[in-house]
Chains A and B, each alone.
Chain A
Amino acid sequence: MSEVLYKFTRSIPDWRPRIEPVKLDEANSDQLEALQITPSNTKVSDYVLTLAHDVESLKVRSPLFNAIMYDKGGMSRSEREIGAIGASIVNRCIYCASVHASRHAQLTKSDEVTDKIFADGENAKLSVRDAAILKFSVKLSDSPSRADKDDFNELKKVGLNEEEILDLILSTSLFGWANRLMHVLGDPVPPTVHGD
């Protein structure tokens, strides 16, 4: 059995469930609907099959996730990813951090910001705007939250408008949710190397 990864990594790990995922051939009609199984789409990740144990939650969470991370307007997609990464650093969700660092790098065409975050966490030396975003997301993610009016005012000071701040609050909060599923219900393990 592969060893569990404990350090942040740029290589997106595999995710190994800690409980038995729903078996696709035993899924009921509600589960199949939530999994969006069609004759041409029968490939479902172990993560989604694990969440299918609670199909009512799965059905509402997926569209909510997509709206918060991808809806148009407001904060840029790459900055929403910093909110996700900030939460994932606090909750030590290696898998989420890796996936969303990768998305940030794709969107900005640079690894620089996320390399610094992986190396130095909350104290990473970033642009003043990225630093304020990261700091806010880290402090909001703590339990209880440490984000205060000074952190909020810093966001305004570095130029974020109300729409962008709301999107940051949403993406950070969403990863309070996502991290607690991904990190609690499974382990990140080295990616499988497929031969030719």
Chain B
Amino acid sequence: MCSYLMGAMDEVKMKNVFETTVLSLSGLKISSETKKAIQNRSNIFIMSDAAEDAVLRPKEYGAFDHGMRAALAARIAFQNQEDGLAHKYLEGAGNFKKVANPSYKGETKDLKSILSFMDKVAKDTRNVVVEDITALKSAHVNDADIVRLAELNSFMAYQIRLITGLRLMKGAEDERGIV
């Protein structure tokens, strides 16, 4: 393959990397000084988007469909003051938009238990105890759905911190006057 074509393919690949959720929300641009670092880890950014698909929009979604998952993701993003990410997920929340509001506690006993669990895992992980899992089981959440809720919450913790960290890289660039 000629070097021109390979170069063009690399450019397309990098454009795709900078369009991933975390990089697009970080504000970092393809021309940024951090490009080399990001290029070296481009596989990780692509895999992170694949993880978002698997966790937010899985084929086997169990008791929590894509709308509910998007609402829970938006709720966690709001709790972590990542409003840009929260609004991205809110677009997919459909009839569950109110769940995304962190002050909404649920109307039924079961939903209250689920939201209480999700809030504690997101904000106060260290104090999660076996009784929190027991409460979910009492709210008719089966074992597979407990794992699905934990995966959703855990992935959001990863994605949010990655965006926060990348935004600090962007801020440092701005301070150095790099556009």
A50, A73, A183, A184 pick with most chain B CB within 10 angstroms = A184
State the Cβ distance, B34 to closest chain A Cβ, in Å: 5
Chain B residue contacts of A91, Cβ below 8 A: 125-126
B residues contacting A by CB (< 8 A) are 33-34, 36-38, 40-41, 43-44, 47-48, 50-51, 53-55, 58-60, 79-81, 121-128, 130, 132-133, 143-144, 146-148, 150-151, 153-155, 157-162, 164-166, 168-169, 171-172, 175
Which residues 169-196 of A sit at the B interface, judged by CB distance below 8 A?
Answer: 169-170, 172-174, 176-181, 183-185, 187
A residues contacting B by CB (< 8 A) are 4, 18-20, 50-51, 53-57, 59-61, 63-64, 67-68, 71, 73-74, 90-93, 140-141, 143-145, 147-149, 151-153, 156, 161-163, 165-170, 172-174, 176-181, 183-185, 187
Question: Chain B binding site: helix, strand, loop or mixed by DSSP?
Answer: helix
| Structural contact, A170 and B44, CB atoms closer than 8 A | yes
- A148 and B169 CA atoms in complex are apart in Å by 10
| Structural contact, A176 and B38, CB atoms closer than 8 A | no
- A64 and B41 CA atoms in complex are apart in Å by 11
| Structural contact, B144 and A64, CB atoms closer than 8 A | no
15 A-B residue pairs with CB within 8 Å: A19-B133, A56-B54, A56-B55, A63-B47, A92-B125, A140-B165, A147-B165, A152-B168, A162-B33, A163-B36, A170-B44, A180-B121, A180-B154, A184-B125, A184-B150
